[in-house]
Structure 1
Amino acid sequence: MKAYVDYAAAAGYRHIILAGHSLGANKVIYYLAKTQDPRVQKFILLSPANIAHLISVVTPEQKAIIADYLAHGRGQELLPFELLGWLPCVADTADQWLHSLILDNVHLEDDKDFSQIEQISHTGALLIGTFDRFTYGDPSQFLRTINRHFPKHQQNELIFIENTGHTYQRKEQEVADRLLALIQHWRA
């Protein structure tokens, strides 16, 4: 992410907005928490992914296969199943999904670890589809819970795209229009 911001700054962009969708949103959170990069003016988090919910579908049998691959030095071999039901990956990557806390930074429950978000001094916007199934529970509440943990949460915009899921099917134009209006508002 730093390389993107470095490039934008070197190219002369004066209004850098860091945006990410799904795991990209989690990466934006991680980057801003670790760097507090002053070159970034705002952030846009589109449908951040609840990692705990995503990995809850990994079966004990799949976990055993991953552990066996790792124990036998086969970490760079492709697993015989798609992790999470859709991700072909090697055992090392699967192990990171299951055990790394780096991107596990958004939650539905208030009592979970929001320490990355609590370090972010930037303000911006959070957007989600009201049928998003990557949240575990009510997507609107999920977004509100995340926002409450930002130090300047009152200054953030919450955007709810009605009747669509994680990838905004049939609502792409509405998402584009809402983001355009948001950025124009920020520039005013």
Structure 2
Amino acid sequence: MILGGQSLGANKAIHYLATHPDSKIDKSFLLSPVNVDNLRDRISNKERLYLKKQIALGKFDDAMPFKLFHWQRGINQTGWNWLTDDTLNNTHIEPRAGFKQVHAIKQSGALLIGTHDGYSRGTLCSILKTLIIIC
């Protein structure tokens, strides 16, 4: 069985493979995983303060009055999770900070990242060098 994912789906596939080493997945094909920190950088300070205040007030299920990242609608809890949950933040290019989940994957697979991918943060060369160091 081959597990594939594109964009945030690739991050989810990385997380699954890292946390289920005995799964029946034989190989993986990951297309342009997202660097979650890169997405977080697109959340303005005003939006961050709004979410923090709404969560403190217990307004978890109220709709955000803005689109997170300029494209995602959702509730305050979803916005807060994007700011605070690192479950899918598994493709840092800094060796000291990331790729722990990638390193935990036992299955072989392919990772495809475009040279101009705006969500990967860093250059293709820096990502590949990091993978070589980690793997």
Per the normalisation by structure 1, the TM-score is 0.67
Q: Which residue of 2 aligns with 1:41?
A: 26
- Decide which of 114, 117, 120 is 1:135's aligned counterpart: 120
Deviation at 1:142, TM superposition (A): 5.0
CA distance in structure 1 between the partners assigned to 2:67 and 2:18 by the alignment: 31
The one-letter code matched in structure 2 to 1:25 is: A
Q: Which residue of 2 aligns with 1:155?
A: none
- Decide which of 128, 131, 144 is 2:128's aligned counterpart: 144
Q: Deviations over 1:47-106 (max 9, x none)?
A: 000000110111111011101211122111110111111111111011111111100000
CA distance in structure 2 between the partners assigned to 1:111 and 1:51 by the alignment: 16
2:93–2:99 CA contact under 8 A, matched in 1? no
The one-letter code matched in structure 1 to 2:29 is: I
With over 3 angstroms needed to count, the CA separation of the structure-2 counterparts of 1:97 and 1:89, relative to structure 1, is same
Summarize the alignment of residues 110-121 of structure 1 with structure 2, pairs less than 5 Å apart. Answer: 110-121=95-106
Summarize the alignment of residues 1-188 of structure 1 with structure 2, pairs less than 5 Å apart. Answer: 16-138=1-123, 140-145=124-129, 147-148=131-132, 151=135
2:94–2:130 CA contact under 8 A, matched in 1? no
2:95–2:134 CA contact under 8 A, matched in 1? no
CA distance in structure 1 between the partners assigned to 2:14 and 2:83 by the alignment: 19
CA distance in structure 2 between the partners assigned to 1:93 and 1:61 by the alignment: 16
Deviation at 1:146, TM superposition (A): 5.4
CA distance in structure 2 between the partners assigned to 1:19 and 1:65 by the alignment: 36
With over 3 angstroms needed to count, the CA separation of the structure-2 counterparts of 1:146 and 1:29, relative to structure 1, is farther
When Rg is computed on C-alpha atoms for both structures, the one with the higher figure is 1
Indicate the SS of the match to 2:4.
strand
With over 3 angstroms needed to count, the CA separation of the structure-2 counterparts of 1:31 and 1:122, relative to structure 1, is same
Per the normalisation by structure 2, the TM-score is 0.91
CA distance in structure 1 between the partners assigned to 2:122 and 2:82 by the alignment: 21
* Unaligned residue ranges in structure 2 (runs of 5+): none
* Unaligned residue ranges in structure 1 (runs of 5+): 1-15, 152-188
CA distance in structure 1 between the partners assigned to 2:41 and 2:57 by the alignment: 25
Percent of counterpart pairs with the same letter?
A: 34
1:57–1:84 CA contact under 8 A, matched in 2? yes
With over 3 angstroms needed to count, the CA separation of the structure-2 counterparts of 1:136 and 1:48, relative to structure 1, is same
Q: Deviations over 1:109-128 (max 9, x none)?
A: 22213221121111100012
- How many pairs does the alignment contain? 135
